[in-house]
Amino acid sequence: MNNFTKIDLCSKALHKIGANEIVSFDEGSVEAEFVSGIYDVVKSKILSSFPWSFAKKIKKLNEIEQEDLNSNFSHVFKLPLDFLRIVSVFPNSSYDIMGDKLFTNSSQVEISYIYDVDESLFSPVFVSAFIYSLAAELSILLLDDNTKFNLFYKLFNTEIKEAKYLDSVQKTPKQINNFSLVDVRK
């Protein structure tokens, strides 16, 4: 969807706050040290905040043996290594996530989940929001500038709302069935 790398996104955020851009995370600069320290946390936080279509996967989970099984559930499954957050579980049944395991009473489980997606799959409007979020964080870490932080955080919120809206309209809307107010209109 785009040609941005981690370094490109970090450099754009650094440029926005008026700091030096970087060419690698281990180049030894203050900018590289700070941005490499926050990058994965900011990325995971924003990806986990919404069921982004570009960051969604479906996977059948493998059941594992667990000696001290949670007493409320009879089966335990290992979550994928790239797992960030659950979107849905099939079949639709009660479950609990503890650490890297999913506990349920279903003997077979398939999940829809948000994963740690490569930056090249980010949507264009998500890229913009992500850069503003990095810029906000870096405004505090590198510059100790609350005014810039507030500006970039406000821009992030504006962009992330648009990104969520645009992402949410890329699928068939859910149909409302068996609802009295809809039935009256027929």
Beta bridge partners of 97: 102
Is pLDDT at 1 greater than 80 in this prediction?
A: no
> 186 pLDDT band (50/70/90 cuts)?
low
For the chain, what percent of residues have pLDDT higher than 90?
A: 82
**pLDDT for 172:** 74
35 and 16 share one domain: yes
Query: Is the residue at 34 inside a domain?
Result: yes
**pLDDT for 176:** 66
pLDDT tens, position by position, 124-148:
999 999 999 999 999 999 999 999 9
Query: Is the residue at 65 inside a domain?
Result: yes
63 and 155 share one domain: no
Distances (CA, A) of 167 to 40, 41, 110, 174: 22, 22, 23, 15
Averaged pLDDT for residues 85-113 = 94
pTM for this entry: 0.86
Which residues span the domain enclosing 124? 6-51+118-168
Is pLDDT at 185 greater than 80 in this prediction?
A: no
> 93 pLDDT band (50/70/90 cuts)?
confident
Averaged pLDDT for residues 53-74 = 86
Distances (CA, A) of 17 to 46, 98, 146, 153: 20, 39, 12, 12
- Overall number of domains in the chain: 2
Look-up of token digits 């970090």: 10
Query: Is the residue at 181 inside a domain?
Result: no
Average pLDDT score over the chain: 92
| φ, ψ (nearest 5 deg) of residue 157 | -60, -40
Is pLDDT at 180 greater than 80 in this prediction?
A: no
Higher pLDDT, 180 or 164: 164
Query: Is the residue at 64 inside a domain?
Result: yes
The two structure tokens encoding residue 164: 């969520």
pLDDT tens, position by position, 164-178:
999 999 877 766 666
* CA within 13 Å, CB half, 110: 6
32 and 64 share one domain: no
Averaged pLDDT for residues 38-47 = 97
